[in-house]
Chains A and B, each alone.
Chain A
Amino acid sequence: MNAPADIRAWLAEQESKELLRFITCGSVDDGKSTLIGRLLYDTRQLFDDQLAALEADSKRHGTQGEKMDFALLVDGLSAEREQGITIDVAYRFFASDKRKYIVADTPGHEQYTRNMVTGASTADLAVLLVDARKGVLTQTRRHSYLAQLTGIRHFVLAVTKMDLVDFERQAFEAICADYRAFAEQIGVAEWTAIPVSGLTGANIATRGEAMPWYDGPTLLEHLETVPLDADADATKPFRLPVQWVNRPNQDFRGFSGQIASGRIKPADEVRILPSGRVTRVERIVAQDGDLDEAVAGQSVTFTFADEVDCSRGDVIAEAGDPPQAADQFEATIVWMADEELVPGRGYWLKLGTQLVTATVQQPKYEVNVNTLEHLAAPSLQLNSIGIAEIATDREIVFEPYAVDGSSPNRTLGGFILIDKLSNATVACGMLHFALRRSLNIHRQHLDVSRETHAALKGQKPAVLWFTGLSGAGKSTIANLVEQKLVARGRHTFLLDGDNVRHGLNRDLGFTEADRIENIRRVGEVARLMADSGLIVLTAFISPFRAEREMVRKMLPDGEFIEVFVDTPLAEAEKRDAKGLYAKARAGELKNFTGIDSPYEAPEKAEIRIDTTQLSAEQAAVAIVDELLKRR
């Protein structure tokens, strides 16, 4: 190996290796970590110092007595080592003669569904571990379902611990028969069962002699021959989400991104979405010289033949076969946060390079991942999987995630939901299809614009959004403000919480979800009124920041003016004009803001009124002054 000629030949071989990503599913007891440890060991990815550390660790935490515990090698974080469980996704790397591998090692327990989905999202193949003594278990079904859900098309059923059943053929075949029935039920088309032993290494990297009756491939042989999703992606129509516009100077304008599917050459005709503009690719620019062609998976920079408008979030597609755009969808959602889904609340939705506000309806049903039963669900909790409708605040370019007989559309079909306040990734999802009503309802172009409406009234529209605790004085102050504005000849309208609840929103209660819908509707009405040129005043407790921000985003910049009527809870409770606090304290009123439901005070309200310092009249004068100053 030391001779330069040898190493050059070896390196040439390395250069042409492909990359396969796979996931291993199973729990600690199934010998999953041991199997991975074996793969690393038998393909010589372990170094002496790692083995020495492993031996020392084996003595301290090991479960294998004096033997080397390969599992310890794979379980990374110290908390995990102490508990003897894997709690996150860990990535491992090894290589065989033909391919390099990235293994996502994920935990098996039901409470780690999110980790498994994370690991599966980038995998070409899933290795399902089944303990030869226990056979196909509930968790085997769960793992198969989740892998199938994320679009994995190649499965290996690794029947482990064959040494513990004396390498018997019957045990293996019984498990295969059992799994076959289940695979048919959920539509797993392609699976290969392999009997293995982590302890002896049989049928992992080498065949071994213990199971002469088995004539299929070893695990490693199988991994070397499975078709790659990247190759399937390359055969689909061209798609590239624009990531970044490269504009170093006046003379160059390039569009950068990673090709999601298909291939592209200079002079190919492409369509830019959502605008629909058609142009041709001029150059595929690269540091080492322009490319003649680029394929799925490559990160590239293009220039176009025409000066076209194109920016981050747009999708460049094959001109004759573009993807759709829509704003209402059905999707599978995997909830990943401790805080449950709040139907109707606005979340950030990121799909490809598009970022929009999305709301999720109450789920149609939740799937029991163990039995695949459909259950009614008002919301989604951590690790639950549901089918729900999603609406986005503008159209997004997408493709259905799952594709019959081909690789999934991961880039334009997979999305994440992000909490707008904590910025946490709270869910991931896979789009099924656009709802027909979304495709058929087109926005009507209006000839009389909002500017015309406003000009006719001689004023700039605004929404004065009063927020604060019940009894803070919102309605009183808003009334005074409206009187003063009308006296100055302004066209106004006051939407009051109690009044709206008698009409438009009389079907809504006071649960978190209903309160959000209440605010959403009021926001939409306020927006329509502002469109017609009015100065709108609204007086609603509106306790959640996320919903107030949602309304702010419905309006043009500067038209939403948040007025925080700041009255301490004790003071509001002391006034208790409607006797509501007393009822809430007595437990007669549920979900009462400030008592058993939170109030999230504004952090940057345009106007803050301290009612312990100002009278209602003084407050109204201050607000009118501030509003007129803004004109």
Chain B
Amino acid sequence: MRSLTHLDRLEAESIHILRETVAEAAKPVMLYSIGKDSSVMLHLAKKAFFPGPLPFPLLHVDTTWKFRDMYTLRDTVAADPAIELIVYKNPEAEAQGINPFDHGPLHTDMWKTEGLKQALDHYGFDAAFGGARRDEEKSRAKERIFSFRDKNHRWDPKRQRPELWSLYNVRKAKGESMRVFPLSNWTELDVWEYVLREKIDIVPLYFAAERPTVERDGLILMVDDERMPLGDEAPVTRKVRFRTLGCYPLSGAIVSEARTIEEIIAEMLVSTSSEREGRAIDRDGGSASMEKKKQEGYF
């Protein structure tokens, strides 16, 4: 008798979580950020509810500063008639022209944190799936799979509900909401192995290619469009790829030769830095910064 493999068991657990939420929540939604974790989560959701369509829409909280390749994949995904995609942009951030160059941390705060809260309130979603994993960051390691937020979307690490067995308490009062993380127990390597096994479409930026780049504060940034202020700096063509994707002016690239998933995994095994290292967002405020952002309602 063959045992289920670790990927089989992770897949089964994630599907269980997705179904449990849909069975108990009034109006669920899936946060779709177009990254590899979102792609895996979407793939799992299709499996969980097959042969039916997805019983919830996808929500992309757009900052207008994502890579062009990400918008392309997003539109391909949304072309599937069985998928409903909602794109939300914080109107205040749009009106004020908030951008990562001039506004620093305010950019993430207004476009992402505020944008997400507004979108959830606007549509009345009471459960939102997110692709966060516990291996990404220390405070994530302690967050529950079903993470409750009060009326103001705040997370209180001291009032988390105990989660035993595969038994989730999904009850909440009116106005409260929950963030649900079906990939909590996956590692970065698991995600890549699963992308490979299931042949999941991902943004080409994960693969190495010659790209126009500049170096800022130790990060290699890609000059993805003309909005990047360059001054007298000339972009340098480097062979790079990205381990995580967000707003292009905030996502650090790594120099790489990996053009296939096998090669990405091979590079990862000898790599010396964790995937969030390329994220400027985690650095403000020292080692507790993610925990602080989460308490403020960041996903």
Contact = CB atoms under 8 A, between A and B. Distances in A.
A114 B11 CA distance: 28
A158 to B, nearest CB: 21
B141 to A, nearest CB: 5
B153 to A, nearest CB: 17
A133 B118 CA distance: 56
B5 interface: yes
Interface string B1-15: 101111111111101
Interface in A80-104: 88-93, 95, 99-100, 102
A246 B46 CA distance: 12
Contacts of A99: 6
Interface in B128-174: 134-135, 138-139, 141-142, 157, 160-167, 169, 171-173
Interface residues of A, number: 78
B165 A15 contact: no
Contact of B169 (A18, A92, A114, A350): A350
A121 B1 CA distance: 25
A117 B165 CA distance: 10
Interface stretch (A320-328, A414-422, A449-457): A414-422
A57 B288 CA distance: 11
Interface in B259-287: 260, 262-263, 265-266, 269-274, 277, 287
Contact of A247 (B46, B52, B163): B52
Contacts of A475: none
Interface size bracket, B side: 35 or more
A47 B272 contact: yes
A53 interface: yes
B103 interface: no
Nearest to B46: A287
B68 interface: no
A100 B12 contact: no
A47 B271 contact: yes
Interface string A244-260: 10111000101011100
B9 A297 contact: yes
Contact of A248 (B52, B161, B163, B187): B52
A299 B16 contact: yes
A313 to B, nearest CB: 10
Nearest to A150: B164
B215 interface: no
Contacts of B277: 47, 49
Contact of A15 (B172, B193, B291): B193
10 contacts: A7-B262, A18-B5, A77-B138, A78-B287, A88-B157, A244-B23, A248-B53, A353-B23, A416-B162, A416-B164
Given A18-B6, A77-B142, A287-B47, 18 more contacts: A4-B262, A7-B265, A11-B196, A14-B193, A19-B6, A77-B288, A90-B141, A92-B141, A122-B165, A244-B22, A287-B50, A295-B4, A299-B13, A299-B15, A348-B171, A415-B167, A418-B171, A424-B169
Interface of A: 1-2, 4, 6-8, 11, 14-19, 47-50, 53, 57, 76-79, 88-93, 95, 99-100, 102, 114-115, 117-118, 121-122, 228, 230-231, 234, 243-244, 246-248, 252, 254, 256-258, 285-287, 295, 297-299, 301, 312, 336, 348, 350-353, 410-411, 414-416, 418, 423-425, 428
Interface of B: 1, 3-13, 15-16, 19-20, 22-23, 46-53, 134-135, 138-139, 141-142, 157, 160-167, 169, 171-173, 184-185, 187, 189-190, 193, 196-197, 260, 262-263, 265-266, 269-274, 277, 287-288, 291
